[in-house]
Amino acid sequence: MRVSKRATIIVLALTALFFAFTLLHASWLADAPEGGPKLVADKGVAPVLGSDGCVSAANAGYGAVAVGPDLAALQLAAGAEADAVHIPVEMADGSLVPVRQFESRCAADLAQPRPDVAATAYSLSRPELFWQAKGADAAKALLAKLPAGDRRHILIGDDAAIAVAKAERPAMRAFTIAKARQCAGDYRGSLLGSVPESCTNGVMLLTLDELGFTLWGWPNRFLERMAKAKTTVIIAQDVTGGEIKGLTDARQYGAIASSFNGYVWVDRIEELGPALRR
């Protein structure tokens, strides 16, 4: 069968375009980034219970100082290899406090006042803290308690909360889950690998099934582009109902490139944290 000259030219042109596209996103064209992945504990770890079913008085946080059950749960998460801790907050009795970190049927535990935001931040001096607040009032109360200029603090919120953060602390990393997911979708839809406006100086939230070839330049070229755009990258198992779902099995970690140096959202940090650090 004779192939026309025109058909040959078309095939050669398409082949050239394919190789050019492949080269554009070739991971090996970028060096592996410095640093390793940062594990984010999705929630606190339930402290040890005593024989009466209540949190044991022997539970201690940093410096072996006994603390209340909610703060102990967060400190235990931080001590289980977490680089960051997720802390949802809510208004209770006129004060902004962390959401209960674990279920307890013990009246003595439930009667203990929850620590306020300032005490929580002070007691968790080691990891970064992902605060989650809803509404402008909660965001204002949160920011009033956090030290200015401390880059450890990151805010997850709704549009109203993020607007407050942008107005009062422009340098603070703050994002809505919806916008972080939009960033991921916009980048995957950009065939040339250009970083969309929704990602620049922002946050990209990826799920495990989005990693791979269609995440253009993954891993090293992709990470280089995100670093230049000052985009924070978070990988989670899934995002369901507007909530981040962390990894639940150490085997899921195999889907994440060894050169990844962003955040990995983890459920059950007390089990997965030590396993992922091996």
Mark the ranges of the chain whose per-residue pLDDT is less than 50.
Answer: 11-28, 62-64
**Residue 63's domain is classified under what CATH number?**
3.20.20.190
pLDDT of residue 6: 60
Q: Dump pLDDT digits (tens) for 182-195.
A: 999 999 988 777 89
Q: How far apart are CA 213 and CA 224, in angstroms?
A: 16
Q: Is residue 13 part of a domain?
A: no
Domain with 98 in it: 30-276
Q: Is residue 3 part of a domain?
A: no
Q: Taking CA 181 as the corner, what is the angle to CA 197 and CA 253, rounded to the nearest 5 degrees?
A: 120
Q: Is residue 164 part of a domain?
A: yes
Q: Is residue 8 part of a domain?
A: no
What is the pTM (predicted TM-score) of this model?
0.85
Q: Is residue 11 part of a domain?
A: no
Q: Is 18 exposed, middle or buried (0-12, 13-18, 19+ CB in 10 A)?
A: exposed
pLDDT of residue 212: 85
pLDDT of residue 31: 55
Provide the pairing of β-strand 243-245 with 238-240. antiparallel
Instruction: Determine the number of helices (DSSP H) and then strands (DSSP E) in the chain.
Output: 9, 11
Q: Is residue 36 part of a domain?
A: yes
Number of domains present in the structure of the chain: 1
Q: Is residue 20 part of a domain?
A: no
Beta-carbon contacts of residue 13 (< 8 Å; ≥ 6 apart): none
Provide the pairing of β-strand 95-98 with 84-92. antiparallel
**C-alpha separations of 163 from 143, 176, 232 in Å:** 12, 10, 19
Q: Is residue 10 part of a domain?
A: no
